[in-house]
Structure 1
Amino acid sequence: MISTKQKTKLLFNRNKLSKTKLLELYQAMLLPRLIEEKMLILLRQGKISKWFSGIGQEAISVGVTMALENDEYILPMHRNLGVFTTRGIPLYRLFSQWQGKANGFTKGRDRSFHFGTQEYRIVGMISHLGPQLGVADGIALAHKLREEQKVTAVFTGEGGTSEGDFHEALNVASVWDLPVLFCIENNGYGLSTPTREQYRCENLADRGKGYGMESHVIFGNNIVEVFTKVSRIVKSMRKNPRPVLIEFKTFRMRGHEEASGTKYVPETLMNEWAEKDPVHNFREFLLNQEILTEALDEKFTTEFKSSIDHHLLKANTEDHITSNQSIELNDVFKSFDNKEVDHGIEKTEIRLVDAISNGLKQSMQHHHNLILMGQDIADYGGVFKITEGFVKLFGKHRVRNTPICESAIVAAAMGLSINGMKAVVEMQFGDFVSSGFNPIVNYLAKVHYRWNQPADVVIRMPCGAGVGAGPFHSQTNEAWFTKTPGLKVVYPAFPYDAKGLLATAINDPNPVLFFEHKALYRSIRQEVPTDYYTLPLGKAAKLKEGNGLSIITYGAGVHWAIEETEEQSLDADVIDLRTLYPLDREAIFASVKKTGRVLVLQEDSMFGGIASDIAALIAEHCFEFLDAPVKRVASIETPIPFAANLEEDYLPRKRLKYAIQELLAY
């Protein structure tokens, strides 16, 4: 037991805090410290698989969390156990989470702190670190739009500030005056990379100046300083919504994770920071001030250890989770009972681009919590003028121009969903989605499977060749996403389908990639109902009926197929998939079993495209009905060229005729 007169290495100013509050701060730090010490023992015993220690950093997690209101969201990282314990999460659930058991938060599907819980307003990290900063932007945006005077706090490490997502998230928060508290835990090292190899500015907080953002440097080992300063800052942020950047100076006393060790850290540095231990120093201060007694300290420690052991026993005796493929598959998406909305008899002939605009407008009227985000979509109306006039109808608070930062905007859309709103993000061109790829495939796609949180986000993807736009504005990259479990992919070819499917995609609480072929925008016209209506996802359309051949396709390929069947007077089924995931296997198999010959047509280049998967499915399920090998027709294996004659040769349109003849002659 520490002597009541031992000198502290840190200076504490009570700042008018009551004895009760000081003891509360101490207990809030002591509990995660004792849990960590227990976990290190269990790790050595092989009872948990991995541990990321926050020993020495407890004052930051505890101080920030206690400064927030319980209904304000907080987005922690690996070393923020104090966030979870301070919010009062039952310990047995944490222990079950770390053991991969059912009473955890991810049903054994993710480990350590990779989880969230709406009950406690905690949104856990993903290993890619950066996207959670943009998610905080979206959560804060929802609060601001509803005028709720709430703050959102998000953590990152000094290493994470090197990621582009850090820049993007701070830029968006600054431009939109979002009440986000960006917390950098500067603990000296990435995994093993010291700060001198991570950045060159003296203080990371200085970066706030570049964003026009208020920033502070706080000594992260002093719980009183952290709590009082953060409390003052967030109180001001609630009254005057704005982002604030805080750099907490601290140190990582153990390895990045326990297997890493600390051999790369100079011993003198370890000793220097050991003397600044936040728990030990605060205990000494409280003892010296006669706020805490040794007997009371012993009581706290004993009670906490007893509670830890009790909850560990509960977690340890819980059965190991068993795999059930039906449950696993069903949890990839949030269940969605699509209630089809029929339309009236009034129709008007419009282009594909008009149908999408009209469908989007009616969905904005249908869902008052729907937010549109994209580059130049407000006053300018977007590069394809799909949102022209929307600002006048819905205001700039709902139709939002964004900086050029696809990753942060996709992440912000995820944050809007977490905080009870819907989002549609327009990629100016579908090609640019590569800059927002990470949050789509690693956050939106996995979040419901991981911790039951839907990603109510639609990403509009103007795509496709045939307009002479070259390699960076012409891709049809749907296969990037059909490969990723957790994403729905829609690709209409006609105005009627586009309007109804877009309405359904927006109603659906799951993430949807909505592909819109640019060459079809103004070249395809159709009678379309003027009313709001929906069409089911996962249902193909049979556009032509025949017995000699099945052509399975989507997007621009639909129109090529129709043209070719008419030119050759073919007795053929033409199936427009409309939705690539979920895929209408029933329609595909029924057609193939009837005709015995099948050609799968896609605009994307051949290798790795969805045509390959469809061909494989047909071979597996319809082999005995086939009279010829499954034929695939696609673009050639190059990037998309600019010059008209090169682009024409790239695309499969000219080769389709000969492929059909070859298949029929087999």
Structure 2
Amino acid sequence: MAITDKKISAETALYIYKNLMLPRRIEERMLMLLRQNKISKWFSGIGQEAVGVGVSLSSEPDDYILPMHRNLGVFTARNVPFYPLFCQLFGKADGFTQGRDRSFHFGIPEHKIIGMISHLAAMMPVADGLALAMKMRDENAVAFSFCGDGATSEGDFHEALNLAAVWKLPVVFIIENNGYGLSTPTSEQFACEHLSDRAKGYGMHGFNIDGNNIFEVMNTVGKARELALKGEPVLIEANTFRMRGHEEASGTHYVPDVLFENWAEKDPIHRFELYMESEGLFTQGELEKVTKEIDESFKEDLNKALAAPDPEFDEERELGRVYAPQPYDTPPHKDGVTYEHRFVDAIQASLRQAFEEDSKFVIMGQDIAEYGGVFKITEGFLEQFGHQRVRNTPIIESGALGAALGLALADFKPVVEMQFADFISCGFNQIVNNIAKTHYRWSPPLNITIRAPHGGGVGAGPFHSQSVEGWFMQIPGLKVVVPGTVEDAMNLMYSSLHDPNPVLFFEHKKLYRSLKAHIPDTANYEPLGKAKVRNEGSDATIITYGMGVQWALSVAESYNKKGISLEVLDLRTLLPLDKEAIRESVQKTGKVLLLQEPSLTLGPLSEISAIISEECFEWLDAPVMRCASLDMPIPHDKGLEGGYMAHSKLDKLISKLIEY
């Protein structure tokens, strides 16, 4: 809905007024319920309604909106049904997250609303991904992403704006500058005159507007939408004010009274009422009647939601929600021609096969297009699949991962290459708080694959050689895959690409060009989470994964010559773990060595030790032993690195275990 002139019809004025007044009246009722202890928390948007409502009324139904705490008007203007909305706000079982999350931390795909997480600017790169999806489909639609003035200090804000500008995405970022980030005033948040001035630095359009003037908001949003559709993203700073605390419990004692007095006169609803009266469109009495009608419009659903059942904990249901089930239409088995592959070739071939079979696959990362990636895994992909599907990113791990979430929400199958696994720390929040938790909370399945070259043995030092897979084992919602053979590099890569859940796929750099095997040239799908016995044995078991598989097979071969039979169990997937395979092998041999490349303390296999102690104790003939790298950063020098690595002490520990 475009507003080109303040001279509007009575019908249009009434439509705008109802949309402004509805969230205000709902919120005033919510504040009463809060005081009655019927709801636990509330983030007030009183005084800021013109921003959310103005964006919603000026957008089209196919546009995505990514709102924040104070944007109730987005939901009401998009006609989200009252009953489930109120249930969500009350934490009831019939809410959009069924009690799994609170307030506006949810999305409604059918209404093109993608909700927030508490980390504020984290959703801004997600808007980039949604915008990219619409651009790739040639849709006439835009993504509108909200943040507050405080969130503009976060890295995701800068990464999202930069990516949008570089990729010329149809996205509009809206800053609701309400003067305070919780209690910190804007004077302590930024030193520039206007936040919108930052747009120039990214090569974007920037607008600074009166966020309490519904006409100015709608006019500007309309212009911004037209620019965004031409590939010219926009940053809008809407100046407004928070008339209540950050949330009700925080109060407003830190805000000078004069600010409340000044901004009360600029209240967006009051100003619009004065406008309608001055234009002779409605009298105060008529507007009061409209307000009563609005109150009646949601009263029944509000009372019904208050009486709705609270969530009841069902362990099987809740655990079942963490992961999307394996797809029924998995790729059929294919027989390929067998020939020698290197580890790196297998990964490349698997990726290429998936990309040839399904145009929904998109890969993003640093230097992956023309350059082919630092390990050349995507070499030739640009020429075969084009710039749309093979995309260089700026150096923005968090931004790229957030964009992947947006693409997945729009039914693409994004792949993100971390140049080195060490750099994944820069995107940690997106992985563990956004990507991992979204499906459990509210979303459809998210097919996201994150490739991460990891591991030592190549003298690359403490920032290019870490094995960080253990960081993610305690994050439900993720799958963590670490192949240790060429065949698994092929098939587990392919399986990760087709799994309907976020998968972290760790690829060992030393194995890339040193490990070779004769395998079929066609990848095949298998469900993730199954271990494999790589070497049958009876005297002791080595449980390991990744590079450890090759170490273990080598030592097993040498001990076999001594008449000692070692079983090698390759976990393959660290999350979820194949506990049954672990139990079977422990019961078979009675002695266990846990072999891992990461440092000893809280390493991935410490969890396996706990499982064995709890579930396999009666079968043990010796203490569970661990062979791991030292508790220190991995050094650069090859000699120092060799002393650090777990492999240097493997033979000694195997002998100790066998002799026990």
**Superposition TM-score, scaled by structure 2 size:** 0.97
In the TM superposition, residue 344 of structure 1 has moved relative to its aligned partner by: 1.2
Give the letter aligned to residue 152 of structure 2.
Answer: T
Q: For 1:606, which of 591, 600, 603 is the aligned residue?
A: 600
The reply on whether 1:507 has 2:501 as its aligned counterpart is no
In the TM superposition, residue 566 of structure 1 has moved relative to its aligned partner by: 1.2
Q: Which residue of 1 aligns with 2:376?
A: 385
Q: Which residue of 2 aligns with 1:89?
A: 80
The reply on whether 1:61 has 2:52 as its aligned counterpart is yes
Which region of structure 1 is more displaced relative to structure 2, 351-360 or 297-306?
297-306
Q: Deviations over 1:145-190 (max 9, x none)?
A: 1111211000001110000111100000000000110000011010
2:149–2:177 contact (8 Å) kept in structure 1:
yes
Q: Which residue of 2 aligns with 1:303?
A: 293
In the TM superposition, residue 509 of structure 1 has moved relative to its aligned partner by: 1.7
Q: Which residue of 2 aligns with 1:662?
A: 656
The reply on whether 1:244 has 2:238 as its aligned counterpart is no
In the TM superposition, residue 345 of structure 1 has moved relative to its aligned partner by: 4.7
1:331–1:452 contact (8 Å) kept in structure 2:
no
Q: Which residue of 1 aligns with 2:426?
A: 435
**Counterpart-to-counterpart distance in 2, 1:637 and 1:524:** 27
**Counterpart-to-counterpart distance in 2, 1:510 and 1:661:** 41
**Counterpart-to-counterpart distance in 2, 1:607 and 1:456:** 32
Which region of structure 1 is more displaced relative to structure 2, 296-305 or 169-178?
296-305
1:379–1:388 contact (8 Å) kept in structure 2:
yes
**Counterpart-to-counterpart distance in 1, 2:420 and 2:456:** 12
Count of equivalent residues: 654
2:326–2:527 contact (8 Å) kept in structure 1:
no
The reply on whether 1:571 has 2:565 as its aligned counterpart is yes
Match of 1:101, SS state, is coil
1:81-160 equivalences under 5 Å are 81-160=72-151
Q: Deviations over 1:482-520 (max 9, x none)?
A: 111110000001111111111111111210000000000
Q: Deviations over 1:19-52 (max 9, x none)?
A: 2222111110100000111111111111110000
Q: Which residue of 2 aligns with 1:315?
A: 305
Give the letter aligned to residue 498 of structure 2.
Answer: N
The reply on whether 1:557 has 2:551 as its aligned counterpart is no
**Counterpart-to-counterpart distance in 2, 1:17 and 1:108:** 43
2:556–2:567 contact (8 Å) kept in structure 1:
no
2:183–2:254 contact (8 Å) kept in structure 1:
yes
Q: Which residue of 2 aligns with 1:587?
A: 581
Match of 1:434, SS state, is helix
Match of 2:510, SS state, is helix
**Counterpart-to-counterpart distance in 1, 2:227 and 2:608:** 57
**Counterpart-to-counterpart distance in 2, 1:461 and 1:41:** 51
In the TM superposition, residue 341 of structure 1 has moved relative to its aligned partner by: 3.3
In the TM superposition, residue 310 of structure 1 has moved relative to its aligned partner by: 1.0
Q: Which residue of 2 aligns with 1:342?
A: 333
In the TM superposition, residue 13 of structure 1 has moved relative to its aligned partner by: 8.8
Give the letter aligned to residue 273 of structure 2.
Answer: R
Which region of structure 1 is more displaced relative to structure 2, 624-633 or 461-470?
624-633
**Counterpart-to-counterpart distance in 2, 1:431 and 1:561:** 25
Give the letter aligned to residue 298 of structure 2.
Answer: I
Give the letter aligned to residue 616 of structure 2.
Answer: C
**Counterpart-to-counterpart distance in 1, 2:539 and 2:219:** 78
1:644-659 equivalences under 5 Å are 644-659=638-653
Match of 1:153, SS state, is strand
1:213-292 equivalences under 5 Å are 213-238=204-229, 240-292=230-282
In the TM superposition, residue 233 of structure 1 has moved relative to its aligned partner by: 2.5
1:326-341 equivalences under 5 Å are 326-337=316-327, 339=330, 341=332
Match of 1:209, SS state, is helix
Match of 2:322, SS state, is coil
1:189-208 equivalences under 5 Å are 189-208=180-199
Match of 1:15, SS state, is coil
Give the letter aligned to residue 121 of structure 2.
Answer: G
Give the letter aligned to residue 224 of structure 1.
Answer: F
Give the letter aligned to residue 387 of structure 1.
Answer: T
Match of 2:460, SS state, is coil
In the TM superposition, residue 276 of structure 1 has moved relative to its aligned partner by: 0.4
The reply on whether 1:597 has 2:587 as its aligned counterpart is no
Which region of structure 1 is more displaced relative to structure 2, 606-615 or 333-342?
333-342
Q: Which residue of 2 aligns with 1:8?
A: none
1:497–1:535 contact (8 Å) kept in structure 2:
no
In the TM superposition, residue 14 of structure 1 has moved relative to its aligned partner by: 4.1
Match of 1:102, SS state, is coil
Which region of structure 1 is more displaced relative to structure 2, 368-377 or 528-537?
528-537
The reply on whether 1:422 has 2:413 as its aligned counterpart is yes
**Counterpart-to-counterpart distance in 2, 1:224 and 1:516:** 54
**Counterpart-to-counterpart distance in 1, 2:263 and 2:368:** 51
In the TM superposition, residue 534 of structure 1 has moved relative to its aligned partner by: 1.7
**Counterpart-to-counterpart distance in 2, 1:337 and 1:421:** 15
Residues 571 and 163 (structure 1 numbering): CA distance in 2 closer, same or farther, change over 3 Å? same
1:152–1:180 contact (8 Å) kept in structure 2:
yes
In the TM superposition, residue 269 of structure 1 has moved relative to its aligned partner by: 1.2
The reply on whether 1:639 has 2:633 as its aligned counterpart is yes
Q: Which residue of 1 aligns with 2:512?
A: 521
In the TM superposition, residue 131 of structure 1 has moved relative to its aligned partner by: 1.4
Q: Sequence identity of aligned pairs in percent?
A: 54
Q: Deviations over 1:179-219 (max 9, x none)?
A: 11000001101000001100011011100000110111110
**Counterpart-to-counterpart distance in 1, 2:523 and 2:59:** 42
1:15–1:228 contact (8 Å) kept in structure 2:
no
User: Which structure 2 residue ranges, 5 or more long, are not aligned?
Assistant: none
Q: Which residue of 2 aligns with 1:7?
A: none
Match of 2:181, SS state, is coil
**Counterpart-to-counterpart distance in 1, 2:59 and 2:172:** 10
2:83–2:302 contact (8 Å) kept in structure 1:
yes
2:547–2:597 contact (8 Å) kept in structure 1:
yes
User: Which structure 1 residue ranges, 5 or more long, are not aligned?
Assistant: 1-11
Give the letter aligned to residue 207 of structure 1.
Answer: R
1:340–1:536 contact (8 Å) kept in structure 2:
no
**Counterpart-to-counterpart distance in 2, 1:18 and 1:399:** 49
The reply on whether 1:22 has 2:16 as its aligned counterpart is no
**Superposition TM-score, scaled by structure 1 size:** 0.97
1:341–1:532 contact (8 Å) kept in structure 2:
no
In the TM superposition, residue 452 of structure 1 has moved relative to its aligned partner by: 2.9
In the TM superposition, residue 454 of structure 1 has moved relative to its aligned partner by: 2.6
1:464-479 equivalences under 5 Å are 464-479=455-470
2:327–2:500 contact (8 Å) kept in structure 1:
no
1:372–1:423 contact (8 Å) kept in structure 2:
yes
Q: For 1:163, which of 130, 142, 154 is the aligned residue?
A: 154
Q: Which residue of 2 aligns with 1:173?
A: 164
Residues 598 and 340 (structure 1 numbering): CA distance in 2 closer, same or farther, change over 3 Å? farther
**Counterpart-to-counterpart distance in 2, 1:409 and 1:18:** 45
Q: For 1:623, which of 617, 620, 623 is the aligned residue?
A: 617
**Counterpart-to-counterpart distance in 2, 1:345 and 1:176:** 38
| Aligned Cα root-mean-square deviation (Å) | 1.3
In the TM superposition, residue 302 of structure 1 has moved relative to its aligned partner by: 1.1
1:340–1:535 contact (8 Å) kept in structure 2:
no
**Counterpart-to-counterpart distance in 1, 2:116 and 2:274:** 34
1:334–1:452 contact (8 Å) kept in structure 2:
no
